Chains A and B, each alone.
Chain A
Amino acid sequence: MVTTKGKRKFVFGLKQDRLADGDKMNSQLVKQVVAEGGKGAAIAACMQCGTCSGGCTNVDSMDLTPRSLVLMVQRGDWEKVIKSNTLWLCSSCYICTTRCPRGVRPSDVMEAVKAIAIRQGIENDATRFHKVFVEVVQKRGILFEPELIHKYAGLEGVLKQAPLGIQLALRGKISPFPETVKNPLKFSQAIEKAKSCPQPQQPQPQSQPDTPTIPVVASTPAQKNSTSQLVSSSRN
């Protein structure tokens, strides 16, 4: 890294937005992501090669590529992560995870970050649909499609999908009557309880990614952790 007149330049023509800079790492968000289901993800091992973005199904429509998302998580830049549309465009196709040469598992990072965002109360069409989906499933232990559409898109949505629904019902592909699992009450109670389990703490929206002082020390355990994960997942 060369500094000239306060303006930063990087060797090999590397742009700043690609720089995986140990000084800038902030382990807090990484820890949260790991706690939220990103256990297998070796986030600190990301070398910003961009293979994940290159193969991503929906990268054209994303404002933050999967590669940048991993970088922002490394830096703890929660603001940028939560503002991007990337989370809601990812179709969980796992191409990134399959191709990543470092075992980072960007799709796991994506899912974990999504979970954190939902816990923080972010709302959009995608989260609303997932919420409704879970509600419907929780009630009976099994999905009932017409109810799902009704809850998500209202009567209007039902009417819009009605021709297709009728065609399907006539062919015996969906039932107009709901089914249940054997003990729906026990099922839904257990899920309710699972939802209220103690959860990892919330990230601070006003995180400061550009404080290069303490985090280096603070991130040591996380990095150690990730290195061992790198070894274990390097067969991918």
Chain B
Amino acid sequence: MAMAARNVALAQKQNLDLLASCSGCYNKSARALKALQEDKEEFERISAILSEMGLDVSAYNIRVRNVVDVLANELWDTLTSRIRKPLKGVKVACYYGCLLTRPVDITGWDSPVFPISMDNLCRLCGAEVVDFRGKTKCCGGPILISQEEIALQLTKQILDEAKEKGADCIVLACPLCDTNLELRQADIEKKYNTNYNLPIVYITEIVGLALGLSPRKLGMDKHIVSTKPLLAKIR
């Protein structure tokens, strides 16, 4: 908890909200902030460790946020007026995973059961969103190393459903989910003798494409699973 609290304290020192691009970091930081704000005992315990590191903060009033939350709840209007290249004909499956929306007393900005903010963002970008039941299923990230087989099985279920629904890509907002879905895709293909070739893209990449940024600038060429089929559909 102290490690997560350190980042929160660093942000508080500058009086800025903390924006996390990873669901896990977001969740842990939000949890740490909640403890620092609401639990006196924890506050004292953590503060002692933080001042050991040379960080003294007496009160916390910042917020911990994540990319989807900010895009959907702060920048919606800005985005609406700036969409240059609607992604017509592109089918996307939005994958939220676990830590973005659960547990609800820590996150609390979208439904933990059926979140829709990312779906709405993709629709705003002009893409067609498939009805994806696996959107809040677990990809097994935390047990990837120690229980590889089970984690790969979980990831496979998500890939299977997205493929079955005819999605051109999975959109997500967490690098660890991406590790499982993208970097392990080849392993899963080999193990279960299937073929996905399913591009996995971060939400900002989809938004960036709709804003008319060049794919190169967005780093679309840096994916392990090629995004070319997806880009071909957009042009």
B63 at the interface (CB under 8 A from A): no
Closest B residue by C-beta to A194: B49
Per-residue CB proximity of A23-36 to B under 8 Å, as 1/0?
00000000000000
User: How far apart are the CA atoms of A94 and B25 in the complex, in Å?
Assistant: 15
Q: Is the Cβ of B146 less than 8 Å from the Cβ of A129?
A: yes
User: How far apart are the CA atoms of A39 and B38 in the complex, in Å?
Assistant: 12
User: How far apart are the CA atoms of A72 and B80 in the complex, in Å?
Assistant: 53
Q: Is the Cβ of A94 less than 8 Å from the Cβ of B49?
A: no
**Contact partners of B223 in chain A: CB under 8 A:** 171
A122 at the interface (CB under 8 A from B): no
Known contacts A57-B154, A95-B102; A193 and B146 CB within 8 A of each other: no
Q: Is the Cβ of A190 less than 8 Å from the Cβ of B142?
A: no
Contact partner of B145 (CB less than 8 A), chosen from A39, A125, A183, A194, is: A125
Number of A residues contacting the other chain (C-beta, 8 Å)? 40
Q: Is the Cβ of B138 less than 8 Å from the Cβ of A57?
A: yes
Closest A residue by C-beta to B53: A190
User: How far apart are the CA atoms of A103 and B58 in the complex, in Å?
Assistant: 31
Known contacts A57-B137, A98-B103, A173-B222; A187 and B150 CB within 8 A of each other: no
Contact partner of A91 (CB less than 8 A), chosen from B104, B112, B142, B183, is: B142
The majority secondary structure among interface residues of chain B is loop
Closest B residue by C-beta to A92: B142
Per-residue CB proximity of A110-142 to B under 8 Å, as 1/0?
000000000000001110010000000100000
From B99, B143, B222, B224, name the one whose CB has the most chain A CB atoms within 10 angstroms: B143
User: How far apart are the CA atoms of A55 and B99 in the complex, in Å?
Assistant: 16
- Which A146-188 residues have C-beta < 8 A from chain B? 152, 164, 167-168, 171-173, 183, 186-187
Q: Is the Cβ of B102 less than 8 Å from the Cβ of A164?
A: no
**Contact partners of B52 in chain A: CB under 8 A:** 186, 189-190, 193-194
The majority secondary structure among interface residues of chain A is helix
Closest B residue by C-beta to A89: B147
User: How far apart are the CA atoms of A94 and B140 in the complex, in Å?
Assistant: 12
Per-residue CB proximity of B33-54 to A under 8 Å, as 1/0?
0000001000001000110111
Interface residues on chain B, size class: 35 or more
From A58, A172, A186, name the one whose CB has the most chain B CB atoms within 10 angstroms: A58
Known contacts A124-B146, A125-B146, A126-B143; A194 and B98 CB within 8 A of each other: no
Q: Is the Cβ of A236 less than 8 Å from the Cβ of B147?
A: no
User: How far apart are the CA atoms of A57 and B98 in the complex, in Å?
Assistant: 11
Q: Is the Cβ of A98 less than 8 Å from the Cβ of B113?
A: yes
- Which B78-117 residues have C-beta < 8 A from chain A? 98-99, 102-105, 112-113
- Which A43-89 residues have C-beta < 8 A from chain B? 57-58, 61, 88-89
Shortest beta-carbon distance, B230 to chain A, in Å? 17
**Contact partners of A124 in chain B: CB under 8 A:** 146
Q: Is the Cβ of A98 less than 8 Å from the Cβ of B102?
A: yes
User: How far apart are the CA atoms of A125 and B49 in the complex, in Å?
Assistant: 29
Known contacts A194-B2, A236-B105; A58 and B224 CB within 8 A of each other: no
Give 20 new A-B contacts, CB below 8 A, not counting A91-B143, A94-B98, A190-B52: A57-B138, A58-B143, A58-B150, A91-B140, A91-B141, A92-B99, A95-B102, A97-B103, A98-B104, A126-B143, A168-B224, A172-B222, A186-B53, A189-B52, A191-B3, A194-B52, A197-B45, A233-B105, A235-B105, A236-B104
Binding site for A on B (CB under 8 A): 2-3, 6, 39, 45, 49-50, 52-54, 98-99, 102-105, 112-113, 136-138, 140-143, 145-147, 150-151, 154, 183, 222-224
| 15 residue pairs bridging A and B, Cβ less than 8 Å apart | A57-B140, A88-B146, A89-B143, A89-B150, A92-B99, A94-B98, A95-B138, A98-B113, A107-B103, A126-B147, A164-B224, A168-B224, A183-B53, A190-B50, A236-B103
